[in-house]
Amino acid sequence: MNQAKQNGFKMQRKKILIPYFIFLLPVFFIINGYNDYFGFMPVKFIVWNLMWLSGMVFFVYFIGRLLFRENVKSILFSFFVSVFLIFFGSFFDTWKSFVSIHFFSSYYFVLPSSVFLIWLFLYFLKRSKNNFQRLFSFLNLLFFVLFFFEISRSLINTINTEPDNLLIDSRFNVLKSVNQSNTVPDTAKPDIFLLVFDGMPSTRALNEDLHFSNTNLDTFLLQNGFYVATEAKSNYDLTVLSVSSMLNMDYVSEKEIKKGTGIEMYFRATSSVLDNSLTRILKNEKYAIRQFQPLSIFNNKDWQGNLVFGNMLDMNYFYKTFPGRLYRDIAWNYMRMKLFKKIAGYTYMKQAREKRDDIELSAQLVKSVCSKNDSSKFVYAHFMLPHIPFVFNQDGGIRPFISYDSESSGKRTESAFVDQLKFANQKITELVKYIKANNKENTIIIVQGDHGYKDFHQSKNAEFVFQNLNAIYFPDKNYECLYKNLSPVNSFRIILNKYFGAQLNLLKDSSVVIEFSKNDWEK
């Protein structure tokens, strides 16, 4: 009878040791990251990250079973090693904030120390005779509390967060000031094509800084009836701020730029590229809005290609983990080795083909919406030309990896940039000709660089980064309202005034430097 009771107690003890915490660990990490950037994480991305994190925990548990042949110790081994792997970034950043001697905050010290601590923990588990029931109970309670805390955060965020809170500029100043009671007949409403070429400098900048004459492009645009702002400058040197401020027709509040982390700034700015004063005004005017651009990370149904800032999502999860930090901070050092150069070569060709495919996709999408009969439309297409990486010859062919690699180690040559610039000129010429031939006559075309080119300005003219191409075509070719130093923030103010009687005041054309510290990205 006593023996039966003892067996019963043993059975109860085994039932109590249910490791809920091991399952809640990856769930907590994912929900915590979701709440940190609430409203920005796509469901598919969240599910995918939860799956691979859960798989990693299971894999570590499998290793633990091989080492211990005992479930309880295998679970604890899996849990603590997984905590290290998943939260390594947070541990490492906290450690660096407390340590003043560089060596002790470097990977040379942290990696061997981590291996030693894991070995020490493994040794302790091997030697221990403890059943760890209290530890299991504590960890279960801890992770239930953490889980419900994050669920509460999600509920509060859901209640308190309005869609406009996810934009970098929710003021909609121009939208509020435009009187849309003065209706414009549909037949008088122009189609608007906005073609943005990333990092496209003005001809003046190219002459002054690179001693390269790009007058052929200006000549082509002038011959096709464009106005070219010869002294144009962008308002920002960051793409997302330049484009979002252009479409909102207003400078972005510095307070909004600095709110949260740099990652959050990108999320909110790219959301403002889709939702802004211009698109809301044009929707009220019954315009069809098409955006063939790879900037917006979320909710752009018009674009199925690669995303320029898609890696911002990885920063929220993968780059916080141990494998992610090794990939981000260390892996690039090994690309110089012969074996890894081969891998880098394959990666280079893959990325170059993807970039070329995206450019061709954007051009094809622009052509596909051209029509002389449909209702009014606003078309925004963004081309990652002549922006780095320099992977194209002047005719659009992919440059050999060896050439590209040599430039990487010796700081990219200006000739590589010029080659890619010539390819950008080719695409501009192609699209302008097509739009003018295949779209209705009442069409506005804007060909613009979101900013100038960045890589050379540090050693030369600091203004080079702002000196952008800015060319506008009006169907009546009356350019009295334009001027030579026009900046993007005023482009659509002028268009709304000219074609919709908006009577908007023009803002001072300024170039704003926004600097981010390391803390702005990690806080």
Structure confidence at residue 131 as a pLDDT band (50, 70, 90) = confident
CA-based nearest residue to 502, from 282, 251, 253: 282
Count the alpha carbons within 13 Å of 206 in the hemisphere toward its beta carbon.
Answer: 22
For residues 386-393, average pLDDT: 91
Joined tokens for residue 105 = 């905050």
DSSP string, 314-337: HHHTGGGSHHHHHHHHTGGGGGGS
At 44 the pLDDT is 87
In the numeric block, the tokens 């000129």 are attached to: 425
Q: Is the dihedral of CA 109, 111, 117, 120 positive or negative?
A: negative
pLDDT at 519: 58
pLDDT value for 248: 98
* Whole-number Å distance between alpha carbons of 366 and 192: 12
Q: Can you read off the two tokens belonging to residue 419?
A: 């080659």
Average pLDDT score, the chain: 89
**pLDDT tens column, 148-175:** 999 999 999 999 999 899 999 999 999 9
CA pair distance 363, 153, nearest whole angstrom: 43
What is the dihedral angle through the alpha carbons of 148, 150, 153, 154, rounded to the nearest 10 degrees? -100
The pLDDT of 40-68, averaged and rounded, is 92
**pLDDT band at residue 483, thresholds of 50, 70 and 90?**
very high
Percentage of the chain surpassing pLDDT 70? 89
Q: Lowest-pLDDT range, 145-149, 328-332, 362-366?
A: 328-332
pLDDT for position 12: 44
Under 8 Å CB-to-CB from 345, ≥6 apart: which residues?
A: 401, 405
Mean pLDDT in residue range 344-370: 92
Q: Where are the domains of the chain?
A: 2-161, 177-522
Q: Per DSSP, which regions of 217-310 are E strands?
A: 227-228, 288-292
- Per-residue pLDDT tens over the stretch 318-333: 889 999 999 888 876 6
Output the pLDDT for position 9.
Answer: 42
* pLDDT > 90: percent of the chain: 70
The Cα–Cα gap between 281 and 283 comes to 5
Averaged pLDDT, 449-458: 74
Sheet holding 377-383, edge to edge: 227-228, 470-473, 443-449, 191-197, 377-383, 288-292
Q: Is the pLDDT of residue 181 over 90?
A: no
Query: Which pLDDT value is given to residue 333?
Result: 64
The pLDDT, as a whole number, for residue 261 is 86
Angle at 443 between CA 442 and CA 445, to 5 degrees: 155
Q: What is the mean pLDDT of residues 117-146?
A: 93
Q: Are 56 and 84 in contact (CB under 8 A)?
A: no
Give the residues across from 197 on adjacent strands: 383, 449
Q: Which residue has the tokens 């009187």?
A: 179
> Six-digit token pair at 212?
């390269």
Q: Is the pLDDT of residue 412 over 70?
A: no
Query: Which residues of 7-124 form beta strands (DSSP E)?
Result: none
Integer angstrom CA distances of residue 498 from 95, 191, 325, 495: 58, 14, 52, 5
Tell me the average pLDDT across 60-77.
92
pLDDT grade for 340, boundaries at 50, 70 and 90: low
Nearest-CA neighbor of 55 among 83, 24, 33, 26? 26
- Position 13 pLDDT exceeds 70: no
The mean per-residue pLDDT over the stretch 283-300 comes to: 94
Domain 177-522 has CATH 3.40.720.10: yes
Q: 18 or 6, which is more confident?
A: 18
Q: Can you give the pLDDT at residue 3?
A: 55
Confidence bin at 402 (pLDDT 50/70/90): low
pLDDT of residue 334: 61
Tens-place pLDDT, residues 199-223: 999 999 999 888 899 999 999 999 9
- Copy the structure tokens of residue 171: 């003021």
Least confident of 225-234, 392-401, 513-522: 513-522
- pLDDT band at 100; cut points 50, 70, 90: confident
pLDDT (mean) for 18-38: 94
The residues, any chain, with a CB within 8 Å of residue 523's CB and separated by 6 or more, are 260, 261
